[in-house]
Every structure is written in C-alpha cells, then in structure tokens.
Amino acid sequence: MEYQTLIYELADDLAVITLDRPDVLNALNAQMRAELRDALSRAGQSARAVVLTGAGQAFCSGQDLGQAGAGDGASLEQVLLDEYAPLVRAMVDCPVPVMAAVNGAAAGAGANLALMADVVIAAERASFLQAFTRVGLVPDAASTWMLPRLVGPARAMGAALFAERIEARQAADWGMIWEAVPDDLFDAHWRARAAHLAKGPTLAYGALRRLMRESWANDIEVQFSREAAAQGQCARSRDFREGLVAFAEKRPPRFEGR
C-alpha cells in the first residue's frame, strides 16, 4: 500500500514508519491518523519491531489545527473518540515492540503519541510539550492516563498546567523517556537499538509488554499469577531452548520469535 502522509520501510524484520508532512511539522490530520493505524497493523503482521519517527526537523507538532473542524468542540470530541483512541489502541495492541525515535519537537498529541510507545529514544535537540492549555484545551490522546504513570502526579500536573517545553535530557532525567542521545549519534543509535529488538525473543517481548501494562490494574497476587502463566508459555518456546543452548555455547542467541 502506498501512503500519502507516511513513509513505510520494512527490512530485516524491522518496520520504520516515518511521519512525512515536514512542511507542517508532521501535524496529524485525518489522513495521517488513518494511514498510521493501517501502518501499525501492517507492521504488527510482518515485522518483529516497529519504529515511529518524523521527517524533517520535528517529530510531530500534534493535531493539525488548520484542518476543517479542528476548532469545533463537538467535532474535536468525535475525532478523539473515532480516530485518536483507535490510534493509541493500535500502538498498545501492536504484537511487537514499538519504539519512538523522536528526532525533534513533539508537541500536543504528537508528544503523547511518542510517549505511548514502549521505548522512547530522543535526540538531545528534541523536546516534549503538553501544549493544550496554550489554546484553552485539556491534554488528550490518553496523556492524562499516561503522564502521571511515567513521571508522577506532581510533574504531570505541572507539565500540563504550565505547558512548558521539556527538553529531551530533562525528559530522560524525569523517567518520561528511556534515553536522550547526542544529535550526531542519534540516527545510528536508535537504529542499533531497533535492530536489537527486531532480533529479540518476540514471544517474550509480547508477554512482558502485556504484563507491564496490566500491572496498573492488578494486585500483586493477580500479577504473580499472570507472570507465572506467561513464563510457562515462554519456557515452552523455541526461543527459550535456543537461549539455553546459546548460553551454554557462549554465543549470541538466534531467536526466531516463537
């Protein structure tokens, strides 16, 4: 499938999805949201890891406020329910790890889209901005659920109320993202990280992602039971057998993802 707002590349079990509207800082319009949902579904079926990044100087500036209906309350509410919620769900439900390689500014829904990834690696030039109160709106795209879990209630509240830019290094220090990388090393670094995920134990990755997300709603006894069931499944996999053999032979494992 050819996309108009994205670049989709698949090589060596890694799908790289690049938001490609650099003239508007990769702002999210209806077509991009639909294409991104499709690309995530496609990647989940054909890749063992997914990377989401941006073309040009920005990662994503958020909702395209120049789009028809963007300034209408009823229309925006429906867009959130009909388009953003399924997009966030597509990231969460993707069966393989999703990495955000944040190459520049990530604002509004664009920041929250990045932060919904399993791992966020940012260039030091990148920044994150909960821009919503600047235009009289509340944070959306699941940010009021996700931000307190990432950085705690005090920092989440401050970031949302003051709508101040959070530089990549500060975001890493807060635990908002996994790491901030010097600009000149960024591209090679995230590609190496992504290649590691694409060669990893896909079954175990999928199970650990579910366990981590479920843990917020479970008590310790339920979580222990879920862990045991997942571990039993992984222990019966070819990947586990390969891991044991590789450990004994003192070589890197060659996982098949099953």
Q: What is the pLDDT of residues 159-184, one digit of tens each?
A: 999 999 999 999 999 999 999 999 99
Q: What pLDDT band is residue 130 in, cutting at 50, 70 and 90?
A: very high
Judged on CB neighbours under 10 Å (0-12, 13-18, 19+), 26 is buried
Would you say the CATH fold of 202-249 matches that of 6-198? no
Paired residues of 147 in beta bridges: none
Total-model pTM: 0.93
Per-domain residue ranges of the chain: 6-198, 202-249
pLDDT greater than 70 at residue 71: no
| Helix, strand and coil in the chain, % to nearest 5 | 55, 15, 30
Structure confidence by residue, pLDDT tens digits, 183-239? 999 999 999 999 999 999 999 999 999 999 999 999 999 999 999 999 999 999 999
CATH code of the domain occupying 6-198: 3.90.226.10
Q: What's the whole-number average pLDDT of the chain?
A: 94
Give the pLDDT band (50/70/90) at residue 70. low
CATH number of 202-249: 1.10.12
Say how many C-beta atoms besides its own lie within 10 A of residue 227's C-beta: 15
Across 6-26, average pLDDT: 97
What DSSP string runs through 173-235? HHTSSSEEE-HHHHHHHHHHHHHHHHTS-HHHHHHHHHHHHHGGG--HHHHHHHHHHHHHHHH
